[in-house]
Amino acid sequence: MSEDIRPSLGLRPVINVSGTMTSLGASIAVPEAVAAVQKIMPQFVEMNDLQRKAGDIIARLTGAEAGFITASCSSGISLAVAGTITGTDLLAVERLPEVRIAKKEVLVQVGHMVNYGAPVDQAIRLAGATVVPIGQATSTHRFHLENAITENTAAAVYVVSHHVVDYGLLHLSEFVEICHARGVPVIVDAASEYDLRGFLETGADIALYSGHKFLGGPTSGIVAGKKELVRHAYLQNLGIGRGMKVGKESIFGVMAALEAWETRDHEGIRAREAGYLDLWKATLSGRLGVNPVIDPDPTNNPLDRLKVIIDPAEARITAWDLAAALAAGDPPIIVRDHEAEHHYFYLDPCNLHPGQEAIVARRLGEELDKAQRSNAIIATPIEELSRHRFDGLLSWPD
Ligand SMILES: *Cc1c(COP(=O)(O)O)cnc(C)c1O
């Protein structure tokens, strides 16, 4: 690991066992991306040409006809949707998000209308589109989609993520079949998915990825798909895309990250991560009220996590209080706790520097020992968590 600049900045040296979390700086950038950023920073480049080169690499890795880099996957959603509304109408590009075109409806399954840090539907509305939710939270049937498509349908957005409802919704292949039969392009938000080819192979017209998640690139988004739709999305850089501008360093950095992905030792990384999970599982096994279970990734990414199930009566602490104690500790350890109300959190092994796995194991043991010695069960009422969730942010920067 390079020099740790965090103490000199007065920042806490957090250890990330929560996964690729934008709020923590997303991921450990791969060395190839870091080197690429450094190389291009002093040079002038013609940005449209650099984007062409990025497009070549994107095409090679994804099988797409064309591609480009934008600021984030979230901006990719807005640009791709905008492109389906404006086409090559440059005046419309400048007028967005005001739209004088009737064909601006975008279909999304209700079970896909999630929040990845901001609402999916807002990224669509930013493009001037009208979101048309289809189905219910846990069910979409063919008739929902078929009947929602009209002459005003510009596109349909499909989200692949652990955030979405994972049952009762339309499979991508069915979604594509129904949309394509009626001439509606399908945009897939695959921000965190390792599979760079599968969604386009299944028929998606555009697939969107984050450059800063599993790829370990600089903060960026990857737009890949049919050449005409990708071009229409790219034209939005003259409009709403300006505020989502990506610099030469991010473009070149993510090009390097994509190339590094092709040659990455995926099996070796998987084996190293399995070692971390085994260590944590051994550390936790046999402890009162703690049940550690290795859990595969819910969207089939080649990644397992350790699900740490806590029985507060026996462990003498709740899952959410244990997560909070680890986050407040020294060093701070951030676990994947967005489902803690169900009495578990996850330990995600994919963003650790070597040696940090042992610190995580030690801190888990210390906090669980402390809970055993405590007179009362450490149990903050769950409703207090939601009541205070935004306190820190609402008083930022204080
Ligand atoms: C992370 C994520 C996003 C946002 O990606 P950014 O590149 O950070 O904008 C969008 N959709 C899903 C499903 C995500 O997981």
| pLDDT tens per residue across span 175-190 | 999 999 999 999 999 9
Measure 84 CA to ligand 1 centroid, in angstroms: 20
Which mutation among 120, 163, 192 tests ligand 1's pocket best, with the greatest number of atoms within 8 A of CB?
Answer: 192
For the segment 131-139, the average pLDDT, to the nearest whole number, is 98
Ligand 1 mean position to 279 CA, how many Å? 30
Nearest CA to ligand 1 atom 5: 73
For the residues 146-150, what does the mean pLDDT come to? Answer: 98
**Residue 256: predicted pLDDT:** 98
Res 66: pLDDT:
98
Ligand 1 pocket test target in 70, 115, 116 with most atoms within 8 Å of CB: 116
Using omega within 30 degrees of 0 as the cis cutoff, is the peptide bond preceding 332 cis? no
CA of 208 to the centre of ligand 1 (A): 9
Ligand 1 centroid – CA 198 distance (Å): 18
Output phi, psi for 235, to 5 deg: -60, -20
Q: Which residues line ligand 1 (CB under 6 A)?
A: 22, 72-74, 116, 159, 161, 163, 189, 191-192, 210, 221
- Amino acid 1: pLDDT: 52
pLDDT in tens, 37-54: 999 999 999 999 999 999
Q: Identify the band that residue 3 occupies on the pLDDT scale cut at 50, 70 and 90.
A: confident
Say how many Å lie between the CA of residue 190 and the centre of ligand 1: 8
Say how many Å lie between the CA of residue 104 and the centre of ligand 1.
Answer: 23
Mutate to test the pocket of ligand 1, among 158, 194, 210 (most ligand atoms within 8 A of CB): 210
* Residue identifier of the C-alpha nearest atom 14 of ligand 1: 191
User: Which ligand 1 atom sits nearest the alpha carbon of residue 74?
Assistant: 9
Mean of pLDDT over the chain? 96
- For the CA of 26, the nearest atom of ligand 1: 8
Find the 311 Cα to ligand 1 centroid distance in Å: 32
Q: Tell me what pLDDT residue 320 has.
A: 97
Q: Ligand 1 mean position to 106 CA, how many Å?
A: 19
Taking the CA of residue 212 as reference, the ligand 1 atom at the shortest distance is 7
- Phi and psi (nearest 5°) for 381? -55, 135
How far does residue 291's CA lie from ligand 1's centre (Å)?
Answer: 31
Q: Which of 74, 79, 194 to mutate to test the pocket of ligand 1 (most atoms within 8 A of CB)?
A: 74
Spatial separation of the C-alpha atoms in residues 202 and 197, rounded to whole Å = 9
Cα of 254 vs centre of ligand 1, distance in Å, is: 16
User: In this model, does residue 2 exceed pLDDT 90?
Assistant: no
- Cα of 212 vs centre of ligand 1, distance in Å, is 10
Domains within the chain, CATH numbers bracketed: 6-22+266-393 (3.90.1150.180), 31-263 (3.40.640.10)
235-278: pLDDT as tens digits: 999 999 999 999 999 999 999 999 999 999 999 999 999 999 99
pLDDT per residue as tens digits for the range 194-205 = 999 999 999 999
What pLDDT digit, counting tens, does each position of 276-332 carry? 999 999 999 999 999 999 999 999 999 999 999 999 999 999 999 999 999 999 999
Query: Who contacts 212 (Cβ-Cβ below 8 Å, separation ≥6)?
Result: 20, 22, 26, 27, 29, 72, 218, 219, 220
For a mutational test of ligand 1's pocket, the pick from 161, 209, 338, i.e. the residue with the most ligand atoms closer than 8 A to its C-beta, is 161
Instruction: Report the percentage of the chain scoring pLDDT > 70.
Output: 99
Percent of the chain with pLDDT over 90: 98
- Tens digits of residue pLDDT in 337-396: 999 999 999 999 999 999 999 999 999 999 999 999 999 999 999 999 889 999 999 999
pLDDT single digits (tens) 152-176: 999 999 999 999 999 999 999 999 9
Residue 26 has φ and ψ, to the nearest 5°, of 70, -75
For ligand 1, atom 12, name the residue with the nearest CA: 191
